[in-house]
Amino acid sequence: MSAMLAVERVTKRFRGLTALTDVSFEVARGEMAVVIGPNGAGKTTLFNVITGFARPEEGRVTLAGEPLAGLAPHAVVRRGLARTFQIPRPFKSLTVGETVALARPSAAGKVLGAPGTGDAERVLRLVQLWERRDEPAGTLSQGDLKLLEVARALATNPALLLLDEPYAGLGPGEMARLTRVVMDLHAAGLTLVIIEHKLRELMKLTRRVIVLHYGEKIADGTPAVVAREPRVLEAYMGGRGGMAEHA
Q: Which residues bind other proteins (CB under 8 A)?
A: 51, 53, 72-75, 77-78, 82-85, 89-94, 98-99, 101-106, 152-153, 155-156
Start-to-end CA span in the chain (Å): 35
Q: β-strands 216-221, 3-14: how paired?
A: unpaired
For other proteins, the closer of residues 30 and 136 by Cβ is 136
> 44 or 206: whose CB is closer to other proteins?
44
Please answer whether residues 59 and 25 qualify as being in contact, where contact means their C-beta atoms are separated by less than 8 angstroms: no
- Confirm if 41 and 232 have CB atoms less than 8 A apart: no
Closest contact distance (angstroms) between CB of 135 and other proteins is: 15
The residue (of 100 and 202) whose beta carbon lies closer to other proteins is 100
CB of 89 to other proteins, least distance (A): 4
- Going through the chain in order, the beta strands assigned E by DSSP cover 3-14, 17-28, 32-36, 58-63, 66-67, 81-83, 160-164, 191-195, 208-213, 216-221
Q: Which is nearer to other proteins, 108 or 233 (CB)?
A: 108
The least CB distance from residue 105 to other proteins, in Å, is 7
Shortest Å, Cβ 82 to other proteins: 7
Give CA–CA dist 45/18, Å, rounded.
11
Distance (Å, whole) CA 212 – CA 232: 9
Q: Select 6 or 101, whichever has its Cβ closest to other proteins.
A: 101
What's the min distance (Å) between Cβ of 14 and other proteins?
A: 17
